[in-house]
Amino acid sequence: MKIAIVEDRQEDAKSLNAMVQKYCQQSCVYVKIDQYETGEEFLGEMPEQYDAIFLDIFLNKLSGIDVARSLRTRGEGKEENQQKIIFVTTSTDYGLEGFELRATHYLVKPCTQEKVQNAMERVMEYMKKKSFYITVTCRREERRIPISKILFIDYRSHAVQIHLKNEMLRCYLSFAEITKKVEPYLNIRWCYRNVLVNYDKVLKIKKRIFEMEDGTVLPINRECNTNCVSSLNLLF
């Protein structure tokens, strides 16, 4: 999951970041959070890539309402127009504007862990309904593979092997091609040469290996060892 926090007060942004991280750790959700101090900076950084946006209403110059309206306008008819917007505010006087902009939730300052949990649970309801899959061709048949079903992906004998819980699919495409297909999904990442692992399917982490739900043991390359393990340790 990718989340943006648009907040001009650094202390508030840091506190909110920590509370979202805590919720995701407790819920075993892999999350990447980016912070922005201004609406202008946020709108200039491809905001369509985020699943949820915590947006302070009282920003300097461009207000949170203006940012949300711009985001909805530029995303008209596109998938990013479904992004969940959580307004963060000291006032509840903007209910009508929030309704028009399809705000998912309001966080009234000061934020607490309980308030953030309530907001995140609404976001998670949306995430569970959202369709996450890749499309590949195996044996001349097009297959839609749910991301949640993938354990890991490797490359052998000039073919990509997609390992599911009770099935292994061989597809004749390059490792670069399959990597590009799964790139939008933060839980699937490279862990060794020509191996992609689904973080959500890791059962145990040892010093240099991942033990998967099906018992498969996957090595962790030295170059990505720190990032992989530090991210996954948050979930165990």
148, 92: one domain: no
Task: Give the angle subtended at the CA of 153 by the CAs of 152 and 157, to the nearest 5°.
Answer: 145
Distance CA 150, CA 146 (A): 7
8, 118: one domain: yes
pLDDT score at 50:
87
pLDDT score at 80:
46
**Pair 202, 211: CB distance under 8 Å:** yes
pLDDT score at 190:
87
Q: Is the pTM of this model over 0.75?
A: no
Domains identified in the chain, total number: 2
pLDDT score at 98:
62
137, 125: one domain: no
69, 146: one domain: no
Spell out the per-residue pLDDT of the chain, length 236, in tens. Answer: 889 999 999 999 999 999 999 998 888 777 889 999 999 999 988 766 788 999 999 888 888 889 988 888 876 545 545 678 999 988 766 655 666 777 888 888 899 999 999 999 988 887 776 668 899 998 888 998 988 899 999 999 899 999 998 899 999 999 999 999 998 787 888 888 899 999 888 888 877 888 998 999 998 876 654 445 444 544 44
pLDDT score at 34:
94
**How many C-beta atoms lie closer than 10 Å to residue 126's C-beta?**
14
DSSP secondary structure letter of residue 187: T
168, 78: one domain: no
Please name which of 177, 130, 131, 132 lies closest in space to residue 153, comparing C-alpha atoms. Answer: 177
pLDDT score at 222:
67
Please name which of 129, 111, 148 lies closest in space to residue 23, comparing C-alpha atoms. Answer: 111
100, 142: one domain: no
For residue 40, the enclosing domain spans 2-129
pLDDT score at 30:
77
pLDDT score at 235:
44
* CATH number of the domain bearing residue 9: 3.40.50.2300
228, 159: one domain: yes
42, 120: one domain: yes
114, 169: one domain: no
150, 34: one domain: no
pLDDT score at 4:
95
pLDDT score at 75:
61
25, 112: one domain: yes
209-212 sheet: strands from edge to edge: 202-205, 209-212, 217-219
Distance CA 140, CA 144 (A): 13
